Amino acid sequence: MKTAQLLNYARDQWIAGESAALSPIASAIDGSLVATTGSGGIDFAGMLDHARSVGGPALRKLTFHDRARIIKGLGLIILARKEELYELNYLTGATRKDGWIDIEGGAGTLLSFSSKGRRELHHAHLLLDGAVEPLSKTGSFVGQHIYSPMMGAAVHINAFNFPVWGMLEKLAPTLLAGMPAIVKPASSTAYLCEAAVRIMIDSKLLPDGALQLIVGGVGDLFDHLTGQDVVSFTGSATTALKLKSHAVVQRESVRFVAEQDSLNASILGPDAAPGTPEFDLFVAEVVSEMTVKAGQKCTAIRRAIAPAAFLDAIEAAIAQKLAATTVGDPRDSANRRGGRGAGAQRDDVRGQVARLVAAGARIVSGNLEASVGPEGGAFMAPILLRADDPWAASAVHDVEAFGPVSTIMPYRDLADAIALANRGMGSLALSLFTYRPDAAREFIQGAAAFHGRMLVINRDNAAESTGHGSPLPVLVHGGPGRAGGSEEMGGVRGVKHYMQRSALQSTPAMIAAISQQYMPGAPKHVLTAHPFRKRMSELAIGDTLNTASRTVSIADIEHFAAFTGDNFYAHMDEEAAKASPIFEGRVAHGYLILSFAAGLFVDPDPGPVLANTGLENLKFLTPLYPGDAIRVELTVRSKSLKSEDTGVVRWAVEIFNQKDEMVATYDLLTENTP
Ligand code: NAP
């Protein structure tokens, strides 16, 4: 252990808490002292002020792309120095495999958000939400929803079980949004979080004030929160309730994101009898969720719900697998599973199991009192409970034993299975093991509103499934009711938790200037040189190419029909076209218009535009008749990055006829040299 006393990082300084108010942190392996920690004497109001006055402005000067690059750098530096973190990880009782989820999973989350930020967000400071809303006859007054970074501090309060990932899955979207963070890890594993913060601070990638750390209590910090701050909490429902009821949080309408505990369920489908692949997959998943990270995952399966007729077989199969699990010192490679975060937490789990037993469940595998692992350690062997009447033993849906504990229970029919799954009153993750699409449809339609993430697993996808218990940076993590009623991650969705949505009303020109993205009706800068000859960095938003015009003849239409085989009546049959409610006669193919448009705007030689990678939002607005002419206005709408070496330009393509009526419009995406 490198640090005898953990330090706070406040106002860009490492600061020790007052020595009179330090708390010891015990190793989960043998109970020995790992470090002391405390935040006594820290100026919490000063930390908030520093975040708001130094960190926030520095981050908001950067674009989404600039911030995405920083986040990538942070992910890479954590990977480069991961062995320092793995050493500390063992002290939490976690094996190397368990630590991988926390440490490399955390770094991977940074990399994923960086990639999303570069690809899906623009080289700009504001995020647009949805399309422009026309609000006036001539189009001079329009509406556009925008997201802007909140101007306070994001206070992240994390649970003990994922000291690295828990911090980084919040930090990535926060920084990408342009908000500074104050991180407060759970005390019992704060040494691992502190080490990860040190690595990030040492890298000097972050602007001053962007990241601060509290190792200990939060003192009077909540008294100084305002409506521009965000509290993002992960932990128990009890602590969440206490914090979100804080008078200042209520008075100032402080945004409060809560990721709480939940009684996650896994359901064996009615078709998944013993001997089917789904039966075996269900058993394997329940065992894995009970034992990975010693069951200390907020998403772990606490309730395994199976058809009544299969319950004995389920009990026997799970018990057999659990018997083969070895628990003990995580540094010993013979032990496939580690222990719990600390001794006091193991005692909590034992207490919760006792409550489940008192409510009518019985232990069918494992011994609650058995001592495993080294003397003084916090290890606990898995406990499988069975509740034969899950409606009577209602505690099985309410009491979370946050360790290697799960309860099996029967259901009568699918409606009963749905009701039992939903009886948890809101969960983070649910899995259903079935090969019957009709059962999956009925189940998911009945249960979806109660669960944040759902997996339907069977023989076709199990080998590639990311697993019941794995939150992913690109999917939302969170759930209704008991789970906290919030969401995190989910790609760009997660970034928006740290931004304010506002409706903006003005001229298209004003909105384009404010948002740094072109929109129809905004001014264009007509170029003399062809834009395909420019690198992405040399192109400005609104740069436009006006092409020559081209008349489309009946011969063109017939040639195109013969060449492509598209002989649709509207192009080839004058009488039928006239008789239609839409056309006055034969019209040009939409694809012909697009092809001629490309012929008008494309610059042929190799250069900074490498490839056409797609069209989006295509609309045909006015039919084009033989003898009509088309011309194109090609305008740079926005710019983003695919990788360090490849840019993506989104062009607004507007095709007009000789009367200046818009014939078609779409977004063209090209891959460019940045
Ligand atoms: P906890 O006891 O509720 O603590 C969570 C965090 O709140 C810790 O950082 C704790 O700090 C802090 N805290 C406690 N009282 C506070 C107060 N008065 N003011 C400010 N901060 C306070 O939960 P835990 O034991 O660490 O974690 C286990 C629980 O978290 C389980 O119930 C699990 O299901 C849940 N969890 C949920 C998710 C999710 O994503 N939904 C993820 C992981 C865990 P101290 O340690 O310093 O007290």
* CA distances, 641 to each of 53, 538, 674 (Å): 30, 14, 8
- Cα–Cα distance, 120 to 542 (Å, whole number): 19
Same domain, yes or no: 252 and 174: yes
Contact 46, 57 (CB under 8 A): no
> What letter would DSSP give residue 374?
S
Contact 531, 539 (CB under 8 A): yes
For residue 342, what pLDDT is reported?
44
Quote the Cα angle for 495-499-503, to 5°. Answer: 125
- Cα–Cα distance, 464 to 224 (Å, whole number): 47
Tokens coding 243: 């914090």
- Give the CA dihedral 322, 323, 328, 333, nearest 10 degrees: -90
Query: Can you list the positions of beta strands (E) in 459-608?
Result: 476-479, 486-489, 499-506, 525-526, 543-546, 550-551
Same domain, yes or no: 437 and 540: no
Q: Which CATH number fits the domain that encloses residue 175?
A: 3.40.605.10
Same domain, yes or no: 282 and 375: yes
Contact 136, 531 (CB under 8 A): no
Contact 179, 498 (CB under 8 A): yes
Tokens coding 206: 């972050």
Q: Would you say residue 91 lies in a domain?
A: yes
Catalytic residue among 104, 169, 259, 285: 259
Q: Would you say residue 214 lies in a domain?
A: yes
Find where tokens 């969170």 sit.
478
Quote the Cα angle for 222-224-229, to 5°. Answer: 80
Same domain, yes or no: 168 and 269: no
Task: Look at the chain and report how many structural domains it folds into.
Answer: 3
Q: Would you say residue 296 lies in a domain?
A: yes
Catalytic residue among 298, 400, 487, 633: 298
Give nearest CA residue, ligand 1 atom 43.
298
Report how far ligand 1's centroid is from the alpha carbon of 653 (Å): 51
Same domain, yes or no: 532 and 648: yes
Note if 661 is an active site residue: no
Which stretches in the chain have pLDDT values below 70? 1-3, 328-345, 373-378
Same domain, yes or no: 530 and 416: no
Note if 193 is an active site residue: no
Q: Would you say residue 14 lies in a domain?
A: no
Q: What is the pLDDT of residues 621-668, one digit of tens each?
A: 999 999 999 999 999 999 988 877 889 999 999 999 999 999 999 999
Q: Would you say residue 35 lies in a domain?
A: no
Q: Would you say residue 609 lies in a domain?
A: yes
For residue 341, what pLDDT is reported?
44
- Cα–Cα distance, 152 to 54 (Å, whole number): 11
* CA distances, 526 to each of 122, 541, 542 (Å): 22, 11, 8
Report how far ligand 1's centroid is from the alpha carbon of 239 (Å): 6
Determine the residue of 232, 236, 289, 470 to mutate for testing ligand 1's pocket, defined as the one with the most ligand atoms within 8 A of the Cβ atom: 236
| The ligand 1 atom nearest the CA atom of 478 | 41
Give nearest CA residue, ligand 1 atom 47.
187
What residues are in contact with ligand 1 under a 6 Å CB criterion? 157-161, 184-188, 218, 234-236, 239, 242-243, 259-261, 298, 400, 402, 428
Query: Can you list the positions of beta strands (E) in 420-553?
Result: 427-433, 451-457, 476-479, 486-489, 499-506, 525-526, 543-546, 550-551
Q: Would you say residue 6 lies in a domain?
A: no
Determine the residue of 155, 165, 261, 497 to mutate for testing ligand 1's pocket, defined as the one with the most ligand atoms within 8 A of the Cβ atom: 261
Tokens coding 646: 């490849």
User: What domain range is 454 assigned to?
Assistant: 264-470
- Cα–Cα distance, 400 to 411 (Å, whole number): 21
What stretch of H or E contains 213?
Answer: strand 211-213
Same domain, yes or no: 349 and 326: yes
Quick one: how far is CA 42 from the chain centroid?
Answer: 32
Same domain, yes or no: 99 and 242: yes
- Cα–Cα distance, 383 to 318 (Å, whole number): 11
Given 461, 484, 499, the domain boundary residue is 499
For residue 296, what pLDDT is reported?
86
**Distance, first Cα to last Cα, the chain:** 45
Tally of CB atoms within 10 A around 658: 12
DSSP for 236-294, please give it.
-HHHHHHHHT-HHHHHTT-EEEEE-----EEEE-TT--TTSHHHHHHHHHHHHHHHGGG
Same domain, yes or no: 599 and 665: yes
- Cα–Cα distance, 623 to 662 (Å, whole number): 10
Same domain, yes or no: 388 and 439: yes
Report how far ligand 1's centroid is from the alpha carbon of 133 (Å): 43
For residue 331, what pLDDT is reported?
66
Same domain, yes or no: 179 and 199: yes
Q: What is the pLDDT of residues 216-252, one digit of tens each?
A: 999 999 999 999 999 999 999 899 999 999 999 999 9
For residue 546, what pLDDT is reported?
97
Q: Would you say residue 132 lies in a domain?
A: yes
Q: Which CATH number fits the domain that encloses residue 630?
A: 3.10.129.10
- Cα–Cα distance, 150 to 253 (Å, whole number): 13
Tokens coding 491: 């790609």
Determine the residue of 192, 298, 299, 428 to mutate for testing ligand 1's pocket, defined as the one with the most ligand atoms within 8 A of the Cβ atom: 298
Same domain, yes or no: 284 and 425: yes
Contact 386, 364 (CB under 8 A): yes
